[in-house]
Amino acid sequence: MEKKIFTLTKSDIEIYEKKIKNFLPDHIIDSHVHLWLKEHILFKEVKPNNSFNDFDAFQQYSFEEFSDNSSEIFQDKKYTGIFFGNPLGQIDIEKVNKYILKLADTGEYCLYIPSPEDKLEGDTFNKIKGFKNFLGFKPYPSLAKKENNEVSIHEFLNEYVLDYANSKGLFILLHLPRKKRLADHRNIEEVKYLTKKYPDVKFLLAHLGRSYCLGDISEAVEQVSKIENLFFEISFVNDWEIFELVIKKIGCKRIIFGSDMPVSLMKGKNICINDNHYFVTEKLFSWSISNNDMQLNFTFFLYEQIREFIKALNKLGLCKDAVLEDVFYGNIKKLIDRLV
């Protein structure tokens, strides 16, 4: 049965007004927004294991839905995005790239999803690459179609894509594979290798390397902190301790705001128990923890993320307009301006 995901309550508005609005700059660029339409879905899972393939929860997410939602939850702000498709295997990637192509034509910033064997010779890519607001690529581990995403980065991000991105100085928004995420030494070695071999690519590490638990990043961060063409995108992380660590080790100039909409519009929060990450959500899904017998009053994952980021800045004495302006706008804008 379809569940309505997006609801804006009085208590959400209060959180925004009191804890968020005045900290954020007037213009926010969200570096991580997924879009797709119902007709791009190839098949549905009987029991989804992930919010992005739960098409009962999220049937589709169009640009119009993004515009409506973002203007409601970030009132009085100009909120723009970097857009790309839903990259899961249940989606027709060619069709969703075509949808993104149409959006590129309207002037929005876009990324193209390359399949693992993509030689960048197809029609859609040839058209999208002509737009100055085309910023690069969003490769994705599950497109390599191996159990549990236990693949190397090279298995879903090929040399054609890397060479092209390097020749134009484009972005690659990198979603790390493997169960251990950033803590997997093979991922670290591959990130070091790729950032060195392709120095003109701007690598954005999605979700801080999928570090939803402190243990995912606490030791690994030292090994990647000095890589100049690696940027740290914070979508869906909502733990102030992780932010504190990253701010201390990386500084605020290479931290980039992203939301991972639409899933961050769910009501809930990540929790880590025994070093494992779980979604706790207001409504129960097959991939989350909840309790239908309780009167839960949650707010958006996205608000939790921003609140925790502000909390980390406060603890470090860095909660200043200039810093927030950098993370939510300036850092990514500077990178974009170097391309277009």
Annotate each residue in 174-213 with x if it binds Zn ion (CB under 5 A) or - if it does not, as one string.
----------------------------------------
Nearest 5°: the CA angle 237, 66, 18 is 55
Residue (166 or 281) nearer to Zn ion, CB: 281
Q: How far apart are CA 336 and CA 27, in angstroms?
A: 15
> At its nearest, how many Å lie between Zn ion and the CB of residue 298?
21
Residue 206 or 230 with smaller CB distance to Zn ion:
206
Of 323, 309, 321, 164, which Cα lies nearest the Cα of 238? 309
User: Considering beta carbons, is residue 15 or 100 the nearer one to Zn ion?
Assistant: 100
Closest CA to 289 of 265, 270, 308: 270
Residues from 239 through 268 that contact Zn ion (CB under 5 A): 260
Shortest distance (Å) from residue 327 CB to Zn ion: 18
Q: How far is the CB of 312 from Zn ion (least distance, A)?
A: 22
Minimum distance from residue 138 beta carbon to Zn ion (Å): 8
Give min distance, CB of 187 to Zn ion, in A.
17
Q: Which is nearer to Zn ion, 162 or 263 (CB)?
A: 263
Q: How many residues bind Zn ion (CB under 5 A)?
A: 1
> Using CB atoms, what's the residue nearest to Zn ion?
260
Is the CB of 235 or the CB of 299 nearer to Zn ion?
A: 235
Q: List the one residue out of 175, 171, 120 whose CA is nearest residue 151.
A: 175
Strand partners, 84: 34
DSSP string, 244-307: HHHHHHH-GGGEE----BTGGGSBEEEEEETTEEEEEESS--TTSB--TTS-----BHHHHHHH
Contact assessment for residue 205 and residue 211, using Cβ atoms and an 8 Å cutoff: no
Exposed e or buried b for every residue in 236-275, given b needs 16+ CB within 10 A? bbbbbbbbbbbbeebebebbbbbbbbbbbbbbbbbebeee
Between residues 73 and 323, which has the closer beta carbon with respect to Zn ion? 73
* Strand order from edge to edge, sheet including 109-112: 27-35, 78-85, 109-112, 134-137, 171-174, 202-205, 230-233, 255-256
CB of 205 to Zn ion, least distance (A): 12
Per-residue x/- track, 49-88, Zn ion (CB under 5 A): ----------------------------------------
- Our CB check for Zn ion shows the closer of 261 and 323 to be 261
- Tell me if residue 321 falls in helix, strand or coil: helix
Q: In this complex, which beta carbon is closest to Zn ion, that of residue 131 or of residue 236?
A: 236
Give the nearest distance from C-beta 199 to Zn ion in angstroms: 25
Q: Which residues have a Cβ under 8 Å from the Cβ of 136 and sit 6 or more positions away?
A: 111, 112, 165, 170, 171, 172, 173, 201, 202
Q: How far is the CB of 84 from Zn ion (least distance, A)?
A: 8
Residues engaged in binding Zn ion (CB under 5 A) = 260
